[in-house]
Amino acid sequence: MISTDTVDETVRVELGSRSYDILIGRGLMARAGTELAARLPGVRAAIVTDEHVARHHAQALSDALASAGIASTTIAITPGEKSKSFASLESVVDGVLEARLERGDVVIALGGGVVGDLAGFAAGIVRRGMKFVQMPTSLLAQVDSSVGGKTGINTARGKNLVGVFQQPSLVLADTDVLDTLPEREFRAGYAEVAKYGLIDRPDFFSWLEANWQEVFAGGAARIQAIAESCRAKAEVVARDEFETGDRALLNLGHTFGHALEAATGYDSARLVHGEGVAIGMALAHRFSSRMNLCSMDDAHRVEAHLAKVGLPVAIADIAGDLPDAERLLDYIAQDKKVSRGALTFILTRGVGRSFVANDVPASEVLAFLREILDR
């Protein structure tokens, strides 16, 4: 299914007049100016990044843009989820306006999911919408958050509650920048790669089982895994850009995962997002088996692969105390709309056969949580 001899990959996101390419390959940072100038001639740019990523890559990007005649200014925010705030949004918007950029100019998000969400939101609202380019620097951002146009910030009432859909004009995923990621962060991003196999690409999941070590090592297999993930996401987004149906499939593992993130107080020493998704996907398969939708062999197969790459797969894998089943269900209910005691979950009929279930009884989820917490 997947060749390993390709070096660069292009994935097209088909959204009519808002269609765009995702370029995946090595050394794209150095080629960014040429790629941008070819697609957006005559633009000036604001590079929105965080202070950590800026130290490693901002100068290289600014030089690459300058070599293609694109003038740029750099706006660096404080790293971390706290920057998805109204205050940071205001400072990014101010920075773009201070640089006197126009509607036809471009905001470039250089960083992980936080930078992409914040910069994309700013691009969506400054001068009623500027051009936007994503240059994701984490695996999670390369395979998920940089694709599909979701942007936004958090408020005291919850995560991602304020934002806009703002599709980029281009995504440049330079796989070389992943070489410097801490192993734990790369592994957490890998959970989202495996997710695409589990949603509707059973052959991809089998390929990952056989090739995950090469994906971690870098090179052609890594590029192929990222490209296949982007293809999977692009297909779902093309079917349901504004999440009225199928796009919810991308939340496989996220309902349990978000509840666990909330239950650990978003303490990244205990659990990061991708780790929560890994446990969530393992639980979604176990729960589906309990509901007689898939076999326990499928659930064991998923757990075996995730555990092999070093991801947590059970609530017991999280260090420290955790709330009881009732409290976890409260966290799940907060994250979801509950309609007459029923919850929406992504469940599965087997590896690569996930579906949106809108009518999962909260009582079944509670019984399941009690069972697994007792084990």
The answer to whether 247 contacts ligand GLY (rule: CB under 6 A) is yes
Q: Which residue type is seen at 207? A: W
Site string for ligand GLY, 41-60 (x = CB under 6 A): --------------------
276 touches ligand GLY (CB under 6 A): no
Which residue, chain included where needed, has tokens 């991308």?
250
Site stretch for ligand GLY (CB under 6 A), options 21-29, 142-150, 285-293, 341-349: 142-150
How far apart (Å, rounded) are the C-alpha atoms in residues 287 and 196?
19
Q: Active-site residue 327, yes or no?
A: no
Q: Tell me how far, at minimum, the Cβ of 142 lies from ligand GLY, in Å.
A: 13
CA angle 32, 38, 41 (to 5 degrees): 105
Pick between residue 57 and residue 150 the one whose CB is nearest to ligand GLY.
150
Q: Is 250 in the site for ligand GLY (CB under 6 A)?
A: yes
Tell me the closest approach of the beta carbon of residue 320 to ligand GLY, in angstroms.
27
Residues 6+ apart with CB under 8 A from 152: 84, 117, 121, 160, 161, 162, 163, 164
**Which residue has the CB atom at the shortest distance from ligand GLY?**
250
Question: 258 catalytic, yes or no?
Answer: yes
Minimum CB–partner distance for residue 55 and ligand GLY (Å): 27
Residue for token digits 């949004």? 89
Applying the rule CB under 6 A, the residues between 149 and 168 that interact with ligand GLY are 150
| Cβ at position 319, least distance to ligand GLY in Å | 26
In the residue annotation, 192 being an active-site residue is answered as: yes
Catalytic, 251? Answer: yes
Out of 26, 131, 231, 251, the active site residue is 251
Determine the interface stretch with ligand GLY among 144-152, 176-184, 311-319, 322-330 (rule: CB under 6 A): 144-152
Q: Closest separation between CB of residue 138 and ligand GLY, Å?
A: 14
CB 221 within 8 A of CB 229: no
Q: Which residues pair with 360 in a beta bridge?
A: 343
Tokens of 219: 């090179």
Give the CA distances from residue 337 to residues 344, 361, 363, 366, in Å, rounded to whole numbers and listed in that order.
8, 12, 15, 16
Is 290 among the catalytic positions? no
To the nearest whole angstrom, how small is the minimum distance from the Cβ of residue 37 to ligand GLY? Answer: 29
DSSP per position, 132-185: EEEEE-SHHIIIIITSS-B--EEETTEEEEE--B---SEEEEEGGGGGGS-HHH
Q: Is 320 left (phi over 0), alpha (psi -120 to 50) or beta?
A: left
Pick between residue 25 and residue 120 the one whose CB is nearest to ligand GLY: 120
Q: Enter the tokens of residue 159.
A: 């995560």
Specify the residue for token string 């279930």.
357
Site membership for ligand GLY, residue 31 (CB under 6 A): no
Instruction: Give CA 135 to chain center in angstroms.
Output: 13
148 contacts ligand GLY (rule: CB under 6 A):
yes
Is 160 designated active site?
no
Catalytically annotated residue among 131, 254, 285, 336: 254
Q: Which parts of this chain interact with ligand GLY (CB under 6 A)?
A: 144, 148, 150, 247, 250
Residues annotated as catalytic are 128, 150, 192, 233, 243, 247, 251, 254, 258, 273
